[in-house]
Structure 1
Amino acid sequence: MKQFIFIVTLLLAKLSFASDLTISTSITSPVSGCNLTNAEIVKITIINAATSPYSGTFDVSYTLNAVTTTESITVPILATSTTYIYEFNTLVDLSACAIHDFTFVVSDINDTNPSNDTVTASITNDCTPTPGTFTGATNVCIGMNNGALDLVGNSGQILDWENSIDNGTNWNSLTNNSTSQSYNNITSNTNYRVIFNGFHGICPNDTVYHLLEIDSISHAGILENDSIHCDTIFPTVIHLNNYTGDNIQWYLSLNNGTSYTNYVNPYDTLSYYEITPNFQFFASVKNGTCPADSSNVIHISYIEQSNAGVIQGVDSICKDEPFHTLTVNGSNGNLLNWQLSTDGTNWTTLTGNTNPFQTNIPNTSANYRAIFQAGDCPQDTSMFQITILDSSNAGILVGANSFCDTINNGLIYVDNFTGDIISWVSSMNNGATFNSIPNVNDTLFYANIKETTGFAVVVQNENCAPDTSALLTIQIIQNLTAGTIVAPDSVCYLSDSLDIFLQGYSDANFWWEISLDSGLTWSNTSQFTPFYTYNTTNQTTNFRVINSEIGCENDTTNHVIHIYKHPTLSSSTDTITLGNSISLLADPGFSYHWTPNIYLNSPSIYNPIATPETSTDYLVEITGPGNCIFTNNFHVIVAVDLSIIVVHNIVTPNGDGFNDTWQIEEIEFFDQNEVKVFNQYGQMVYQASPYLNNWNTDNLPNGTYFYTLKLAKNQPVIKGTFTIIDQQ
């Protein structure tokens, strides 16, 4: 018995002091898989690699994410090359979708071969992919569509996009593993699908579907023909035929199509009563996403009954008048024609259907009638009777005389007149105005006329227009007067020819004379009319008019025209930089008018400030003494200093206070600037005029963008690119 105990003791001592434990590289648990949990079992296989059995206590551990879990194991006896499966008491969290790297270690103080004590293993957790949802159109218009379908809320790995135009029977690969798929001008219903799997390819694939349906082109169809109604209240129905669409809107115009308002009715038939005498409808039809189409316009007219109204005109008229005019008032409808009858039975259609109607005078009394018709309404007729009279004739006056003294008398009589004398008239201003003389006899006596006077007689035959005879003038030659020369006191040097005239003179023989030496000598101009054209405007000139009549004393009037000379015309050329100003200085004068008047602080002062955007020629008209006008010319050359403009090529709109907006240095000095920004597809994504360095890119995607910059309206375009980065 003592001998057995001694042998066992020796054996145990040998087991404890000569160990070589190792871990199998094939980890029992966990293993890579889909959707591992946060409580996975850790189980390893321990191998006795020593040449003798093992018995005792040792430590095993695993390290994951820098956290080590250690547990102690007591093994009664483990034969050589045999295994021991150990399950850790502590569960491990492998729920994160990732590759989890384990380090397993077996530790025994008597291990003679520590090189095989450590084993590493990588366990992959692949999570089920989330297909997400589509954003984008569900319907597009045939032949006029482009856009993109975007996938949002998805997880996992996109393997490919596919589409099908036969409702999913056959699918075509689009070779696209992004979250966006573009389409352009598709012509049939198209199914799209995206195929996913987990990021590590362990979990089974998943698929998400989207149908993009095609809408046919909108067609508004045809409305029935225009309609005209001859009654006052009418119900009717308009039908819209042969249309394509699911959204019908009707539009009404009360102003002959100048503007339309929505007439609420979603149906393809429209019932209505009279709205106004004239109105219009059209229908707008929209099919799905396709643009709306408009039908033809239908005109609805409300026609009152035909009414020929009342003919108005002169019912008694002189036969010698060239024409007379008839007017219809209170009528309704179209004037079809005018007709004439001299016996009331037989009617002749006259040329013309106007209202008022102007026609020749018939030779005898006659009847007129006007025929009206409104639409298809029955015709209506109005009548008018006219009587023809002989015309008034004032005849001829006899008995004219002229006198150069103040004692005169005589008799005027009228001969060969037709009608009744209703008055005599006199005029002292050659017929400009008349004074009535209460005399209805065919003779008129005059005496002691103080000034030249004209006489006439007024004769009227019944309702005919009065006739006034030609003016019979009795000329009274009093003391002659040369009148007054009407002309300016001064004119500008070398100005255009000047018309001067004589007023307040008495009729007689008169002529014009001029003097160029202040009246020392005079030249006869051979001008014998009250008007004289003055062509020599280069020196001061004296004018005089001499009025003469045999038996009367001559009279003379004088006038001097002074000549103002203007200063020498001047001009200048100056150069400024765009955005700067220059003071323009005109020659002295009384008033100023600058052209062009743009870019000036005032166009009516002698020293305006000019701030032109382009090179400009300015002209100032200066009014000087005698209202003479002379000019100055100024040529302002505008140079653009592009060196001060610096366009930043980076925008980082992340709110950190640096480059959050697109900056163009010194742009504030060009308040007429214009900026346009385009994406890589040539689409304009931003525009501003003026640009104020305040654009934060409006959440545009990161990338390179193109810009055009014009500093002023007539300046060249600057082009370039800039990049948007770090949008998050």
Structure 2
Amino acid sequence: MKSSKLYTLLLLAICFYGLNSQAQQPTDCVNAITVCGDSEINLDVNGIGFQELSGLNNCSSQENNSLWLKVTLVTDGTLGFILTPESTSIVEDYDFFVFGPNRDCGNLGQAIRCSTTNPQAANQGNNLTGMNGSQTDTSEGPGAIGNSFVRWLDVSAGDTYYIVIDRPIGNSPFNLEWIGSAEFASPPTNESSSDLELNLSECDAVFPFDDFTTTFDLSVNTNLIAGTQTNVSVTYFESETDASIGSNPIIGLYTNTSNPQEVYAKITDDLTGCFEIVPFRLFVGTGANYPTPTDYRLCDNDADGDSSNGQVVFDLLIKNAEILDGQNENDLLITYHESMNDAEFDINPLPNLYYNDIPYNQEIFVRIENSENVNCFSVRSFNLIVLDAPESFNAEQIQCSDNNSAPFNLTNSNDELTGNQSDLITKFFLNFNDALNGTNAIVNETNFINTSNPQIVYVQVTNSTTECSSIAELTLRISTTSVNDSQILVCDDDGNEDGLHSFDLTESEPDILNGVPGTATIGYYENLDDAILENNPIATNYINEVPYSQTVYARVENDNNCYGIAEIELIVNELPDIESEELQYYCLNSFPESITLDSGIMDNANYAFLWSTGEITESIQVNETGSFTVEILNIATGCMKTRTIVVEPSNIATIESIEVNDASDNNIVTVLTNGEGVYEYALFDEFGSYTPYQTNNVFSNVLGGVYTVHVRDIKNGCGITTLDVFVIGFPKVFTPNGDGLNDTWNIKGVTPFFQANSKILIFDRYGKFIKELSPLGDGWDGTFNGQDLPVSDYWFEITLQDGRSIKDHFTLKR
């Protein structure tokens, strides 16, 4: 709150939880909080202390949950305030009471201002209360009486007032805004350069050294806080509440209760009582605050004559760099000890080169001490761990070659070198020192060419987890022994005649292992390099990749070393070159004549034949239908293939009937047949082919006349069946002009053997009878009684022998 104006907020709280009822609280007049400019006060208060309001106010109330404030003015003017609850709920009810001026706690007199109006009962739009210049009344309430505001005070410089803030209903904190023209006294200020300057740090130099408590002299901050100010005093408190009400000040040296811990300095104006509260923090360290060093691991060795006792010499100074982490080594004193007690009391330091007493795992304690303050130190521990060197085994690798050098895959000996331990890895070197130091490793370890026979290479066998190593020897030798080659023949009978086939490579073993030690084993490879280096082995069930002929390699080993390499020739023989299936036809109407079935051979190789009929010739004669097979064996390769010939029946057609729909505008002939063949149909007249052959057995728009139906077998050419057919029809026009074409008119399709007794009558257009004709005669010449009749349409009536009657007309043209 600025000393020049009275409008700054004073932050206060009345709370109802977790407070020590024995602690001194500002709930009584004697503990009233002095309000000054720029003061910001935060309190946890509860209850009422002593009941001091009974009978001292005109607002009919008393203390419920109260807070006492003491206000001293330094200028004349007006004094008012606005109290605003943090919660806007209308049920939050705050009251206030003002005593003075210049009263003391033993003689307060009657309140000169008070308000106990309930905002909810008074139907107010808010829950604010206070004193301002627009009101005229000095007291109001209780309940619905009033509007929660009364007239502010006219004050003089030097006047002191007590203001009681009380909350009968609710639980919300509040803030207080001072209004009016009068001014408060200003509190003293904290003249330290920053809040961080007041923080205090100490080392935990009091036993026990790891409980993070020690003593602090808080008074070292007094001059920093007071600075050049006079008539001020500085006191220290554990809590802000204690500081606000001046309860339980810290006297003398202080031992912290938590780490870090916040404590409070209170700087008070001795003349006005105004104060400021300054928080700062206490920190307790265990000395030089460094992380715990990592464990120190070494691999067991034979420097002490025993490479498996779990004891080696550790150079402890190696850990100094990790502890210093780049800082000046002169700032710290680092010593190593066998126990925590030795480290804490700085006794019995270990030598820099330390031979561990406890095999394999020993805890070591390091004291990290501030070189300028020996009481400020840290103790950390780490483990001295001795790791087992892996067990390795010498090995020998024998390679096959016809001279003294060959490529070796050194890694093929890994299982033997490591004793089949999966967590061990190998590196190969030309000499022992390189292997010991891990330098100049052989790069081409999977394709290493030896330079002498035999040759020793050195192997660093390392545990991939611990990184500990041991050295083994690998002896390389050349073997010039030979083994027998072999050949495997198969027929291309797997359903795909492509020259590729599955081979059982073990079929070659009787040939290859003839004369070889009985303990020998075989591995198979696609090429010689892989066989030599044991790379990319292939399965014994192998499908060749080169059609018809391919060579693979068998590596014979004895005691896991190369004994010899054999070639295995894989041959895929072709099957006889034939069509596996054929379809032929036999004309049943030609029985007992025979047809020839042949084997379909297309080359001059030597073959043997076996037919399903039992015959063994290249071809056979049959006069029946059915399925016939012949097994064709290539005598040279032993490969066989089966040919199947299916003989299906065919036959000349049998004409069952011919249906004729004639004497109409669209004469239709339908031929009905049966038989085993596939048939085509045609009509022939006296001049030859009337229609071409067709697969449809129905003929449409057939002119009247006599025809021969031809039915031929096209399935196997078994022959043609014929039958005459008669179609009754008549011309629509005739031209009796003597040119020899259409000079007469008569019906067609009648023969002496078909409809010969039919009767034909001709009439003119008026129904006059003109002529009766015989269907077997020459026909009508267009005359009547020797006279030519005119061009016109003429009608006819036909009575066929089969009883049908036909009436229609035709045209005479000249």
Q: Fold-level match, TM-score > 0.5?
A: no
Higher helix share: 2
Higher RCO (Cα < 8 Å, 6 or more apart): 2
Q: Which has the higher strand share?
A: 1
Structure-1-length-normalised TM-score: 0.26
Determine which structure has more spread, i.e. the larger CA radius of gyration.
Answer: 2
